[in-house]
Structure 1
Amino acid sequence: MEADRISDIERLLPLAEKYGLAVLLVFILLIIVIMQWRAVAKGKLVPREMLDRALEDNDRLQEILDSERKEFMQPMLEVFKRLKTDHHQENDQDRGG
């Protein structure tokens, strides 16, 4: 097994001398990055169950936030509605008078 690795290294060394070690390392790193990107895209890196659970948690928390926002904004909406009706009444009186 060790002899196989040594023979592989001996075959790679002339390439490293010819093209430079940095180019070979960039090529190897590029292959690794592409493999990782494909694993993420296909869902092999993150199990589908975990993604589904995270999306369900996100939906549940968004509903909680929406209900709290609705309770918080309700008094402000009532003020705006009263201002709007008051503004329309004032405009109608100005036009008729």
Structure 2
Amino acid sequence: MEAERISDLERLLPLVEKYGLSVVLLFLFLIFAYVQWRAVATGKLVPREMLDRALQDNDHLQEILDSERKAFMQPTLEVLQRLKIDHNAVNPENTEDRGG
């Protein structure tokens, strides 16, 4: 294992001398970023079971939020419905649409 790493370094050192350390490190970083992006895209980095579980948890929490939002907004909706009914009761001949 150590011999393999040393041989890799021996191959990289002439490139570092020729092009500079920053260019070689940038090239290595781009390769690493591409490999990581590919692993995420193909599902090798995160197992599919964990992703499915996270999506199910997200759906469950969204349902809870929707039910709380509905309970919270119910009084406001009732007031708006009463206002609409009262407007029609006061002026039955006025059927003008006000864009609302």
The answer to whether the superposition gives a TM-score over 0.5 is yes
Amino acid at match of 1:15: L
What aligned pairs does 1:4-83 form with structure 2 within 5 A after superposition? 5-83=5-83
Q: Which moved more, 1:35-44 or 1:14-23?
A: 14-23
Deviations 1:7-56 (A, max 9, x none): 44333322211111211111111101100010011111111111111111
Percentage of pairs with the same residue: 72
The 1-side partners of 2:89 and 2:65 are apart by: 36
Q: CA RMSD in A?
A: 2.1
TM-score normalised by the chain length of structure 2: 0.80
Closer, same or farther in 2 for the Cα pair 1:7/1:79, shift >3 Å? Answer: closer
How many residue pairs were aligned?
Answer: 95
| Unmatched segments (≥5 aa) in structure 2 | 96-100
State the structure with more CA Rg.
Answer: 1
Closer, same or farther in 2 for the Cα pair 1:94/1:66, shift >3 Å? Answer: closer
Larger relative helix fraction: 1
| Unmatched segments (≥5 aa) in structure 1 | none
TM-score normalised by the chain length of structure 1: 0.82
